[in-house]
Structure formats: structure tokens, C-alpha cells
Amino acid sequence: MIGCRPFTMPQASSIHSTAVIEGDVRLDDDVIIGPYCIITGPVHIKSGTRLIGQNWIHGRVEMGHGNVLYPGARIGGPPQDLGFDHEEPDPGIIIGDENVFREGFAGHRGKTDEPTRIGNKNYFMTNTHVGHDSQVANHCTLATGACLGGHVQVADRVIIGGNTAVGQFVQIGRGAFLTGGYATSQSILPWFMLTSTGTCGALNLIGMRRFGMSQEEIARRKWVYQVLYRKGLSLSSAVETLQQATPDPVVQEYLDFIESNDRPLCHGSSRAIRAGGSG
């Protein structure tokens, strides 16, 4: 049934008779709401977005154009925090355009002053999770079972393999690749590759080539990797070496990432993992 106003039926939209829509809900033209969906405002869904069925949207949710939600995807749920008031809709979650959310996806609203954010053209496979206050940019793929803890920042074109867990406050740089089945509580530099728990043992060379990166730029990134992980330097000494190479924009990208990052960086070779630790 259609619930209480101020919801109004938009023109050229399709809402299944079993859908429940209540509160401050705005649906733009050409939105499709399938069977057994539940939407409780404040929610705004823009044109071309499709909820296939059995989706739950609640809290404060802003959703852009052309998104697709498969059955069981849930957006805007309260943070998984026992101290958070689950009736509080703010600060919500903001989603861009043309994202795909497969079965079992869960994206939770923020619990600080800023909303959880998901950008454009991301693909979230089955049973993936974006925790409260996380920020996912554009053109990212999270494979089945991938999980982002709260406050995680994911830059453009990141691929996270199946059943990979990313701890709270971790930053993942542009173009990074996280191999499936591992975990990290440390940040990952741009175009680096997580090859085991807490370890970036390689560069994402395939990703760089697919992105159309020149051989010269790839070589510069290989050099940065060598300085950070293969010369036996401390982080401060490695940063000094990189600074000597500026104003190279490739090197500057890594320096900017290191400066803005509040977490330890993944290391470049395997280390013994102590019981209860993460690398």
C-alpha cells in the first residue's frame, strides 16, 4: 500500500501495489519500485532508478539517477553501533548515479556530522557491506562478501576481492587492487596491490594498463614502490627520497596520500601475524 503523505505519485513512475512508502518520500519521474519494497523517509530517489523488489530504503537517503537495486539490497540502515539512536535519520547516506547493488548489499547511514557517501558507476556484488561514514568514490567494484568498516575511504577505480575485510578509518588509494580472502587494517597506496593480509606485495600493473597509463608513468610508479618497499628505508627516509623527485605529479600523488593518511601503511613483504593481530 501507499502510506502517509507527503508522498505523491510521480508521473511515469511504476510502484507495485505491495510496496510500502511512508513519510517524506520524493520519487522523480521514471522511478520503478518493485514488489514488497519498503521506503520510509526522508528519502529522495532520482529518475531512472529501479528497485527490483524486497528492498528497504530508510533514514535520510539521497539517491541519484539510474541506480539498480537487486532483491534484498538495503540502504540507509542505522550504523552497527550499540550507542547510536536507531531512530535518528541523520546524517544519512548520499548515493550518486548508475550504481548497481546486488542481492544482500547493506549500506549504513553516517553517525557523525557527515553522511556516508557512494559516488557513481560502482558495482557492489552480493552480500557486500559499506559501513557508516565510509566514502566510496567512482568506478569501484566490491566482489561478493567484501566489507568496509566505518569511516573507510575508497578512491576511484578500486577493486576489492571477495570476502576481503577493510578495517575502520583505512584509506584505499586510486586504482588499488585488494586480492580476495584477505584483510587490512592499514592503508593502501594508489595502484598498489594487497597480496596477503596487511601486505602490498605488488603493483596493479594490469589495472594501470587497462586504464591506459603510459609506460613512462607505470615506470614511475614502479620506482615509487621500490623506494617505499624494496630499499630498506624507513618511511620518513623514503618520503625524503620521494620529495627530491618533485614536482613529478606521479610522485606527488603518493606524497599527498601519505600526508593525508592517518593509518599505518600496508607493508611490502610478509610478516608473521601474531595471534589476535592483523599483520
Q: Is position 20 within any domain?
A: yes
Residue 46 lies in a domain: yes
Range of the domain at 65: 14-213
**Which residue from 91, 90, 154, 84 is spatially nearest to 118, judged by alpha carbons?**
154
Question: pLDDT at position 12, please?
Answer: 57
Instruction: Identify the bridge partners of residue 2 per DSSP, sorted by sequence position.
Output: 21
- C-alpha pair distances (Å), 242 with each of 1, 73, 99, 204, 258: 61, 44, 36, 20, 11
- How high is the pLDDT of residue 35? 97
Mean pLDDT by 10 residues, the chain (279 residues): 47 85 95 97 96 96 98 96 83 97 98 95 98 98 98 98 98 98 97 96 97 97 97 95 94 97 88 34
| Confidence (pLDDT) at 203 | 97
- The helix/strand/coil state of 244 is coil
User: Residue 234: inside a domain, yes or no?
Assistant: no
Is residue 25 within 8 Å of residue 41, measured between CB atoms? yes
**Cell digits of residue 203:** 603493483
Q: What is the CATH number of the domain that holds 118?
A: 2.160.10.10
Per the structure, how many domains does the chain have?
Answer: 1
Please give the pLDDT value at position 119. 98
Residue at 97 is within a domain: yes
Contacts of 65 (CB under 8 A, 6+ apart): 46, 47, 48, 49, 97, 98
* Confidence (pTM): 0.91
Is residue 211 a contact partner of residue 203, using CB atoms and an 8 Å limit?
no
Q: At what angle do helices 249-260 and 235-243 cross, to 10 degrees?
A: 150
Which residue(s) pair with 160 in the sheet?
Answer: 142, 178
Residue 271 located in a structural domain: no
Q: How far is 123 from 111, CA to CA, in rounded Å?
A: 24
> Comparing C-alpha atoms, which of 142, 169, 146 is closest to residue 157?
142
Is residue 250 one of the residues assigned to a domain? no
